[in-house]
Amino acid sequence: VGPYTITYFAVRGRCGALRIMLADQGQEWKEVVVDFPEWMKGTLKSTCVFGQLPKFQDGDLVLFQSNAILRHLGRKHDAYGKDGDEAALVDMMCDGVEDFRLKYVKMIYQEYDTGKDTYIKDLPNHLDKFEAVLAKNKTGFLVGNKSSFADYNLFDLLLNHLVLSSTCLDSFPSLKSFVEKMSARPKIKAFLDSEAYKKLPINGNGKQ
């Protein structure tokens, strides 16, 4: 097993994208699964820089912050654009996905029962931004002509939304094709079909 270890709760959550990226890059990694009662004791929490998970280890390097982990893997696995300008655009896209993810997480954890229908109705206002980027770039990726960590981040979030609303991409052909093409990449397909992936709930509160 490679130098990589993920320490997280038994959920997809903020590790969905980085697991898909590691799988697509042919990497192996170790999973340390933390259960809530253990976490609530506070011992592990007190060792986390921001008091939160995921924690990612790459040999002696210890990282927190899911987007910093994605960027680190982007640098290590040539998935950060072809030059400085593309890297800046990849950062911009990843930040845009983070904004979208924060809205999803807020709805799931704080407003699911009262806000789910409104969130789904309002989805096109978020999806149309990424549809326009993919339609304009024409390569099937958010930036340049190869996958970057921003693509894995968007792909994971779109998979979550297809569970929330199976028809949410029906009027977004570029997004629909993006999900189909990413899902068909052999290493991603194998990972999405794996028990390790399928057994994890998407979120920590059982809502999806």
Query: Which parts of this chain interact with ligand GVX (CB under 6 A)?
Result: 9, 11, 13-14, 45, 51-54, 65-67, 105, 109, 204
Give the nearest distance from C-beta 36 to ligand GVX in angstroms: 7
146 secondary structure, DSSP code:
S
Q: Closer to ligand GVX by CB, 71 or 174: give it.
A: 71
Q: What are phi and psi of 49, to 5 degrees?
A: -50, -40
Per-residue b or e along 90-110, where b marks 16 or more CB atoms closer than 10 Å to that residue's CB: bbebbebbbebbeebeebbee
Listed residue (193, 163, 157, 196) closest to 33, CA to CA: 196
Q: Closer to ligand GVX by CB, 66 or 174: give it.
A: 66
Give the nearest distance from C-beta 65 to ligand GVX in angstroms: 5
Q: Closer to ligand GVX by CB, 47 or 145: give it.
A: 47
Give the nearest distance from C-beta 50 to ligand GVX in angstroms: 7
Give the nearest distance from C-beta 184 to ligand GVX in angstroms: 28
Q: Closer to ligand GVX by CB, 107 or 175: give it.
A: 107
Q: Closer to ligand GVX by CB, 53 or 90: give it.
A: 53
Contact predicate 20/27, CB 8 Å: no
Residue 91 DSSP SS3: helix
Q: Closer to ligand GVX by CB, 14 or 72: give it.
A: 14
C-alpha distances in angstroms, 125 versus 147, 155, 168, 172? 24, 17, 11, 11
**Residue nearest to ligand GVX as judged by C-beta position:** 204
Give the nearest distance from C-beta 13 to ligand GVX in angstroms: 5
Give the nearest distance from C-beta 82 to ligand GVX in angstroms: 26
Contact predicate 18/6, CB 8 Å: yes
24 secondary structure, DSSP code:
H
